[in-house]
Amino acid sequence: MAKQKYYQRPDGLYESIRKINGRRVAFRGKTCREVDRKILAYQEQAQAGRPFPVVAAQWQREHDKTVSLSTQMVYGYAVKRLCAAFPKSIRDVKPLDVKRYLNDLERAGYSAQTVQTDLSVCKMICSYAVISGDIDVSPATEIRKSRGLPVKRREALTEEQEAIVKRVSAERKAHFWLFGCLLLYTGMRRGEALALTYGDIDRKAGVIHVTKKLSYATGQVPVLEDHLKSENGRRDIPLLPPLAAALPRNRAGLIFPGEDGGFMRSSEITKNWRRYCRDAGLFAAERASNGETVETFHITPHCFRHSMATICYEAGLDPRQTARILGDAVETVEGVYTHLRQQRQKSAAEILAEYCK
């Protein structure tokens, strides 16, 4: 019997281990010819470079281990768009291609945040490709998004709406009133508030320990996430006097449990929130195209978060202090402060113009 070209393993497969670009790569097949074909295909792909989608998928698998579920979802959409735009070898992607990709997003009407997210993800994938030896230089390093793109701003509550929330919190009669009170005086994210337990309320230290949140990124049933994956998320929030007085004492368990005693489902949140808005008068009645009057709920829990940022601004806290309370990046809070200053300047100009008439 002729000697076989490659080693035959106990399971019957033939195997050849080659060192390619400093890596040990194993090639296996039912015949020596199949092993040869796999070696040749690998060498051809190595010469041409791995496709962008392959590198992106590998980066995504590793990166997902370090971020929250909601961030995974947002980055996942960006990866999908990038892979559709760059289906071929990552070596073929040039800086001009990345810039054209961003220009296409801008022309399609995507917001500044979406364009920036796609650019950030592209840069991370390309940096990963450099470290992996797929390319020598990232084609996205020097690329910037255009200025003046539309920015989707979530507005804070108006003074009138904030007064309504405070009144409803003081009366303690409206459905779900404690949720609105807690959001206003902490600026917590919806998922953080819904994961909060009475054990997180530290009256002695005068703080609320924020260590976890609920994510509804996958549907109705929430996923509990700890804040170990977030530099800013895990924090202590001051327990302000109005909230301290409103929170019940000597309780245990979730502050806002669902109907079954566990975490609220997405549909339960919507139902409770709309009932709260109705009881408080924080909704509008608008006429639909068919002539019928429908209820609209423009105020969301995130509006309360922006209101807390405004409260911090008016109280004289600097952006770094506010960022620690909100669990946001300092740069994000600085952007909010800039917007508030511009609003105040506009208001001052209007007052002067009215006075000089």
Q: What is the pLDDT of residues 160-196, one digit of tens each?
A: 999 999 999 999 999 999 999 999 999 999 999 999 9
Domains plus CATH for the chain?
7-48 (no CATH), 54-131 (1.10.150.130), 159-347 (1.10.443.10)
d(CA 251, CA 260): 18
- How many CB atoms within 10 Å of residue 65? 8
pLDDT of residue 143: 93
Q: How far is CA 89 from CA 25, 86, 143, 163, in A?
A: 20, 8, 20, 58
pLDDT of residue 228: 59
Total residue length of the chain: 357
Q: Is the pLDDT of residue 357 over 50?
A: yes
DSSP structure class, residue 128 = H
Side-chain-side CA neighbours of 213 within 13 Å: the count stands at 21
pLDDT of residue 1: 45
Ordered strands of the 201-202 beta sheet = 201-202, 207-210, 235-238
| Burial degree of 64 (CB within 10 A; 0-12, 13-18, 19+) | middle
Confidence of residue 243 (pLDDT cuts 50, 70, 90): very high
Whole-number average pLDDT of the chain:
89
Span 229-255, average pLDDT: 90
First to last CA, the chain: 108
If we measure between CA atoms, which residue out of 134, 135, 100, 133 comes closest to residue 118? 100
Span 301-309, average pLDDT: 92
pLDDT tens, position by position, 258-283: 999 999 999 999 999 999 999 999 98
Identify the residue whose tokens are 């952006």. 319
